[in-house]
Amino acid sequence: MTPQAHPFPRRFALHHLALVATLACSSLLAACGGGGGDDRGSPVTPMSQSDATADAANASSTGTDTASALDTLVDTATALAPVLAATAAASPAARTQVESARPETSPAPPSITGAVACPGGGTATMTVTGTLELLRNGQLDAGEGYTVTYAQCSGGAGLARLDGSVHMAVLSADHATSPASLSVDITATHLVLTLPAGNATLDGQSTLTRSVATSGGTTTVTSHVTVPSATLLTNFNARNGTFALSDLDATRTVTWVGGAVSGSQYTGHHTLSGTAWGRTFSMNVSTTGIVHDDAGGALVSGAWTVVRPHATVATTVANGLVVITVDDGNDGTIDHTWTFPAAQLASSAG
């Protein structure tokens, strides 16, 4: 996509990774099991409404927030690339840096490095490597590499601070056709997000492939995200946790109208496991109906299922209400059904 395909996102890059980590903290192994026993005939303890609601909230947010964070990383690089190119073009020192890296004079690929001020304070320093011709065009092009290092970098609200680094390798890019397309590999290295309640550190690799279609004043960005494995180290509310996110395969579609986000959709699956408070847990999460968020990222509707070793939690959200059913023991029998306002689901996360 060209740098003008859609504007810099309203929420700063990686704000959602904090939510991923916070939500993972509460997805602990709760008392679960069920009415007639598990699939081996052993008696089990029924899952409580509070545990089921926390599972439903955390499972959904873990997938959508991770996809959103990776999506926004690409948005950030796309927004910073033309700024860096323009800075390099206007800077004699930067021009000298690029010219000195010509293949005939240096074995290293040409590169441009520059620092950009973050909206809420701090800096993001970007180094772009690639061919001499492509470095100057301000677009993400196949063969280029983008390394961004954050130093106390925060968004406009100043509530979240980012430190650490991300590397993006551009696998393919087509800016000339409609819809435009882009594919990147993303590696996060000790990427630390700090919030008032604590911090989270992410390490892992992912791949994001997106298409961008614009019609009139509406731009539709569809991203397919895969995360084979990633680790989260968290310290929130005086509690430490170590989590593994794996097998995330999701599609996220964001609609922009008049330069602002009007809403998004998410479908996909992932596995979350880990240890916290000296206890272990594992869950498989998959959407069973498209999850819709509004312009501010709040959940509007959708359906998804959480499968634990001894319980299955199914959630449906529509018309401001949440319906949760629980199959204790995974024996195919619904043992509990609860209905409550959607706002209660959001307040149960974390």
Measured at the alpha carbon of residue 70, what is the angle toward residues 213 and 349, in degrees to the nearest 5?
A: 115
User: Is the pLDDT assigned to residue 143 strictly greater than 50?
Assistant: yes
Is 295 contained in some domain?
Answer: no
DSSP bridge pairs for 151: 123
Q: How many domains, in total, are found in the chain?
A: 1
Domain that holds residue 75: 15-282
Residue 309 lies in a domain: no
Mean pLDDT for 120-137 is 81
- Angle, in degrees to the nearest 10, between helices 15-26 and 49-90: 160
Q: What is the pLDDT of residue 35?
A: 35
Query: Looking at residues 35-63, what average pLDDT do you find?
Result: 73
For the entire predicted model, the pTM comes to 0.79
Q: Looking at residue 28, what is its pLDDT?
A: 31
In-domain check, residue 80: yes
Crossing angle (nearest 10°) for helices 92-99 and 49-90: 90
| Mean local confidence (pLDDT), 318-332 | 96
Amino acid found at 232: L
> Where residue 137 falls among pLDDT bands split at 50, 70, 90?
confident
Res. 337: pLDDT tops 60: yes
Distance CA 62, CA 16 (A): 9
- The Cα 285–Cα 114 span in angstroms is 40
Residue 275 placed within a domain: yes
Q: CA-CA distance, 86 to 38, in Å (whole number)?
A: 63
Residue 276's pLDDT is what?
A: 63
Residue 114 lies in a domain: yes
The owner of tokens 């501010």 is 296
Query: Is 91 inside any structural domain?
Result: yes
d(CA 254, CA 234): 28
> Which pLDDT tens digit goes with each residue over 252-298?
999 999 888 899 999 999 998 877 656 677 899 999 999 999 988 88
Contact assessment for residue 293 and residue 266, using Cβ atoms and an 8 Å cutoff: yes
Q: How far apart are CA 119 and CA 212, in angstroms?
A: 25
Would you state the pLDDT for residue 7? 35
Most confident of 224-238, 287-301, 323-337: 323-337
| Helix segments in 91-136, DSSP class H | 92-99, 132-135
The mean pLDDT of 70-97, rounded to a whole number, is 71
Strands (E), the chain: 111-117, 123-129, 145-154, 161-174, 180-195, 198-215, 218-236, 239-257, 260-276, 279-294, 299-308, 311-318, 321-328, 336-341
Q: Which residue carries 């390099």 as its tokens?
A: 88
Task: Specify the pLDDT at position 46.
Answer: 93
Q: Is residue 347 part of a domain?
A: no
- The mean of the pLDDT values for the chain is 79
Domain-embedded: residue 7: no
Contacts of 213 (CB under 8 A, 6+ apart): 178, 179, 180, 219, 220, 222
- Supply the pLDDT for residue 206: 95
Scanning the structure block, which residue is given the tokens 């995360």? 227
Write out pLDDT tens, residues 99-117: 554 555 555 667 888 887 7
Greatest mean pLDDT among 25-34, 38-47, 80-89, 287-296 lies in 287-296
